[in-house]
Amino acid sequence: FLIWKNGPLKDFDLRLSFRCNATNNSGIQYRSKHITDGKVGNNWVVRGYQHELRNENKFPNTSAFIYDEGGKRGRICLVGEKATWTTEGKKVNGTLINEEEFQKLFKLDDWNDVVIIGRGNHVQHFLNGRLVLDFTDEHPDLQLLEGILAVQLHAGKPMWTEFKNIRVADLSK
């Protein structure tokens, strides 16, 4: 992980562009923790919400879903879902985009624009100008309301990921 060192954010608007190859996945961590204690293999371990990055356009393995990096919930909210997570699990309340629409929206092998907006327990992911995920975390023990930002280059198979035009606005001020 490449970790942003300007401290934790609560409410924010994060914008960037990315492209990557199709041999692995990457991610954008937000409202996360930099883990330095315990049995970590290196000094670059981050846990928390991850906006998945992939060069794939077939559901469910696409860019923009929320993965619980280092947590217990796995894929918290998938692309196309308007969902709420409570102590009883996830409830999908609506659909924002289907697979065919996503395939037209996502630019394989090219730059894609990402916007992540977090306000309170509500998070939205936009891809190339379209809302593709809307998530509210009402789980009192698992919700993340603040944390650091980081970008990931996944371990494993050789791959590359590029980022540009990274901008963040602190909305809690």
Distance CA 168, CA 145 (A): 16
Beta-bridge mates of residue 147: 9
Distance CA 9, CA 24 (A): 28
Which residue's structure tokens are 């692309």? Answer: 79
Please give the pLDDT value at position 128. Answer: 99
Half-sphere exposure of 61 (CA within 13 A, CB side): 8
Cβ-contact 125, 78 below 8 angstroms: no
Edge-first strand listing for the sheet containing 148-153:
2-3, 148-153, 26-35, 45-53, 66-69, 75-77
What averages of pLDDT result for each successive group of 10 residues across the chain (173 residues)?
90 97 87 83 85 93 95 96 98 98 97 98 99 98 97 81 96 88
Distances (CA, A) of 53 to 19, 89, 106, 112, 141: 8, 24, 11, 10, 26
Please give the pLDDT value at position 120. Answer: 98
Distance CA 46, CA 63 (A): 19
Cβ-contact 138, 86 below 8 angstroms: yes
Closest CA to 113 of 28, 172, 29: 28
* Strand bridging mode 81-86 / 130-137: parallel
Distance CA 78, CA 166 (A): 23
Please give the pLDDT value at position 40. Answer: 65
User: What domains, with CATH codes, occur in the chain?
Assistant: 2-170 (2.60.120.560)
